A = this chain, B = another copy of it.
Amino acid sequence: MAEPVMGNIPWEERPKGSTELVWRSARNPILTCSAVPGTRSVFNSAVAPFGDGFAGVFRCDNSAWMMNLHRGFSPDGVRWTLDPQPITWICEDEEIARLEYRYDPRVVWMDDRYHITWCNGYHGPTIGVGYTFDFARFHQRENAFLPYNRNGVLFPRKIRGSYAMLSRPSDRGHTPFGDIFYSESPDLVHWGRHRFVMAPAPGWQSTKVGPGPAPLETDEGWLLLYHGVITQCNGFVYSMGAALLDRDEPWKVLSRTRSTLLTPREDYERSGDTPNVVFPCGLLHEGPTGRLAIYYGAADTVIGLAFAHLAEILDFVKRDGA
């Protein structure tokens, strides 16, 4: 199966008078719990071009506050129809298939299919791995790592002949630390050659950092959107920045932003189940125009959409970078 060609990326021009590198959709939040009956929140989700439009894997916490993944479809990337039933996973091993919880999915097209990773409950949070060809049938593989890990993000192609993944080793609770690491695999089952990528840095990313959507390959390196967290008097604040990773040895950080690209400001980002969260999980890139559409969870409650120009972001990462 060939990589789907994206039709029209969702897009809004930068508002007049704005000098923001990343600007929010006027239609935000584009997705709330009203999209799925019996759901208390829809956030931290990933999308991809699919057929004539778009498909996605969405984190929906139900009214029992159980975290699970639902598929969804959209003609334009903004108006979404979500399956009210969670995804059923085809899996050979019963123990791996058993549901504890699933959340914060990422989706990336590679080879001939959509690869999906998420935070999967298996005696603690670890990285679940699966795939689908058609968003109809979903297959689950072995978990990539031992617990405790969050934010497993696949690169969209093999590197040095191996599959490659970024992730954030963690612990059992609301971890107050977090570095990004890189790992390789010959078969998407066994992982090794782990390399340290980056740690927290002063300011908005001083408590922890974790990878966002799948890295985007550019001539200058892999563009990685990531979240960073600072601890304020009344809790964490999650913002978004960007880093440029070496194309061949992606654990080498060429540059990363000192400043945030997106940070809580709007009511739906300030207030919700976790106040003050902007958490990017999905990214669309329109090659010819360099337009970017960024899907991010807001306040652990709803989904926001933001826009940017790739060239501007790249320029800023290099200029503002540390």
Contacts and interface: CB of A to CB of B under 8 A. Distances in A.
B171 A234 contact: no
**Chain A interface, DSSP helix/strand/loop, else mixed:** loop
25 contacts: A38-B259, A40-B260, A63-B259, A63-B263, A64-B258, A64-B320, A95-B195, A122-B196, A126-B194, A142-B193, A142-B194, A146-B146, A146-B167, A148-B148, A172-B177, A174-B232, A185-B190, A189-B192, A190-B190, A190-B191, A232-B273, A233-B236, A264-B273, A267-B271, A270-B271
Contact of A146 (B183, B239, B258): B183
Interface of A: 19, 37-38, 40, 62-66, 95, 122-124, 126, 142-149, 167, 169, 171-172, 174, 177, 179, 181, 183-186, 189-196, 199, 202-204, 206, 230-237, 239, 258-260, 263-264, 267, 270-277, 300, 320
Given A124-B169, A259-B64, A174 B231 contact: yes
Q: What copy number does this chain have within its complex?
A: 6
Contacts of A185: 190, 192
A134 B278 CA distance: 42
Contacts of A181: 123, 146-147
Contacts of A186: 190
A114 to B, nearest CB: 21
Contacts of A143: 194
A99 to B, nearest CB: 12
Given A66-B202, A190-B184, A145 B148 contact: no
Contacts of A179: 123-124
Contact of A142 (B95, B192, B260): B192
